[in-house]
Amino acid sequence: MAFLWFIIGAILGSFYLVVGTRVPKKEDFITSRSKCDYCQKELRWFELIPVISYVIQLGKCRNCGKRISPSYLFMEVITGLLFLIGFLYYGMSISYYIYLVSISLALIIFVSDFKYMVILDSTLVIASIILLVLRYFEVGIQGTLYSCLYGLILFIIMFLIRLLGNFLFKKDSLGGGDIKLAIYMGILLGYYNYGLRLGIIAIMFSAFLALPYALVSLYLNKKNELPYGPFLISAAIIVFVFIDKFKNLLILFSL
């Protein structure tokens, strides 16, 4: 089963890369066939087998011989490993499916936000709906409503942070996608009385995750724009995976 989930993850990893790169450019990713980036030759089914095709072809196009971006192999392997590790950690449970939805959303956000500085509304809506359904089966209608409430509150908090940042820096400090992502974070971490506090911890934690990248980026590129979505969703997933430990911290400090 673990190996099966690795295969599923590898297949979906390739799909997530396509979604993250094509949708922001308004390109069709459902009916159009995959092509070589250089010679534009349509790829056949045996050239699209996750991981295996890349290795057999030595990372090159069979038609023109140009090197295929290693991002395809990287995305397939990483997604497969994340699916496998999640299965070993959770087993077949509702929490595992919640983890899969969150990881899938995170990977698409990583691609689209780092490449185009865009968080896709469509992926946020679809992931949030699936998450709400899973929440209902896990904690019932009351717990699901609490999750929605915490999502709304985190959205307001992020919006207020944006207003403050805009006032201090005299320009947009947070993108609209980052603010809307807070809704998903609230649903993900909406565990009754702990939900709001866990969400706030995730927002604070995301700043620490983003700081090293921001410093290096500023030093190398002299740019002050940061794709913040990947760090927000990463922080939320880390808090979700280790939620008992974060709950214990809240209890320890009586927060």
**Per-residue pLDDT in tens (0 to 9) along the chain, 255 residues:** 899 999 999 999 989 998 998 888 877 766 666 776 667 677 675 667 788 888 888 777 777 777 877 888 899 999 999 999 999 999 999 999 999 999 999 999 999 999 999 999 999 999 999 999 999 998 889 889 989 999 999 999 999 999 988 888 777 878 889 999 999 999 999 876 778 889 999 999 999 999 998 888 877 776 667 899 999 999 999 999 998 888 888 877 766
Which domain range does residue 203 map to? 115-255
The amino acid sitting at 221 is N
Total of domains in the chain: 2
Distance in Å from the first CA to the final CA of the chain: 40
Are both 235 and 139 inside the same structural domain? Answer: yes
131 and 70 within one domain:
no
Tell whether 110 is covered by a domain. Answer: no
Contact residues for 51 (Cβ-Cβ < 8 A; gap 6+): 10, 73, 76, 77, 80
pLDDT given at position 179: 93
Q: Are 103 and 131 in contact (CB under 8 A)?
A: no
Q: Are residues 66 and 180 in the same domain?
A: no
- Give residue-wise pLDDT tens across range 40-81: 677 675 667 788 888 888 777 777 777 877 888 899 999 999
Whether 134 and 207 map to the same domain: the answer is yes
Specify the pLDDT at position 110: 95
Question: Per residue in 204-218, pLDDT tens?
Answer: 999 999 999 888 887
**Is 101 among the domain residues?**
no
Query: Are 137 and 250 in the same domain?
Result: yes
Q: Is residue 108 part of a domain?
A: no
Domain boundary among 92, 124, 152: 92
Does any domain span residue 109?
no
